[in-house]
Amino acid sequence: MSEQGWRDFLAAENVSDWVVLHGGATAVFRVLSLRAAARLADAVAQVPGVEGAGVLITLADDQLTVRLTRGIWRLEPRHIELARAVSTVARRHGAVADRSRAQEVSLAIAAHPEAVDVGFWRAVLGYAELADDNAVDPLGHGSTVWMQDLDEAKPLRHAMHVDVSVAREHVQARLAAALAAGGRVVHHWTAPEAWTLADRAGNRVCLCAWPDGAVGSGTATPEPK
């Protein structure tokens, strides 16, 4: 598991259906009905290499979502070929990839190092361990919770914020919608583009095109609260 895996995926050819989110490579395919989604899911499940790869498939009335891994650090070279194969199957079934629908919402629990308590969050949520610093929904439905070390100089003993990861070409539209709805920019990064936004009460959320827009640039680190 390394950063190189997801960077290689971003740089690969013929994977334009896929958005590399915080949790890994994800594609959303638009379909005409739940039955069509079920048929496509069955076809995807038969793609060589899918079995045992940790793929998560979610069906809805008008779409099928395929996540190749549950974590970005688990992307490997084999997932590039797997993504291409899944896209080929989707096209054969008349499904259309829609990158604007791909997103991931995570909850960041920030605390000073001695107060980080990932075990508590796993227990209270009924979540499982994917990495040392996170907790994931075993059903694949809920947001991932991850632990963020709070700078010792920060006066707060604990804090939370929401992270939203979207496709690089759709982050500006999401930003505009949030600002139009009354949000304000607290901080802005450009490598790749990411923003900390706040609502009128001061509650914060990090909106970012990371890692999907990270090729050839540094990573955006959400601002600790």
- pLDDT recorded at residue 221: 43
In this prediction the pTM is 0.88
Task: Give the CATH architecture of domain 3-101.
Answer: 2-Layer Sandwich (3.30)
Residue 207's alpha-carbon distances to 56, 144, 183, in angstroms, are 24, 15, 12
Cα distance between residue 112 and residue 177, in whole Å: 33
pLDDT in tens, 57-69: 999 999 999 999 9
- pLDDT recorded at residue 220: 41
| Average pLDDT value over all residues in the chain | 90
Cα angle 134, 47, 9 (rounded to 5 degrees) comes to: 50
pLDDT tier for residue 156 given thresholds of 50, 70 and 90: low
Residue 104's alpha-carbon distances to 81, 123, 126, 142, in angstroms, are 23, 22, 20, 10
Residues whose CB is less than 8 angstroms from the CB of residue 41 and which lie 6 or more positions away in sequence, other chains included: 57, 59, 64
How far does Cα 59 stand from its chain's mean position? 17
pLDDT in tens, 118-140: 999 999 899 999 999 999 999 98
Q: Where are the domains of the chain?
A: 3-101, 103-208
- φ, ψ of residue 83 to 5 degrees: the values are -60, -45
**Assigned fold of 103-208:** 2,3-Dihydroxybiphenyl 1,2-Dioxygenase; domain 1 (3.10.180)
149 pLDDT more than 90: no
Q: Which residues of 74-101 are buried (b: 16+ CB within 10 A; e: fewer)?
A: bbbeebbebbbebbebbeebebebebeb
pLDDT tier for residue 152 given thresholds of 50, 70 and 90: confident
DSSP count for the chain of H helices, then E strands: 5, 12
Domains 3-101 and 103-208 share a fold: no
pLDDT tier for residue 158 given thresholds of 50, 70 and 90: low
Cα distance between residue 69 and residue 224, in whole Å: 26
Cα distance between residue 43 and residue 5, in whole Å: 26
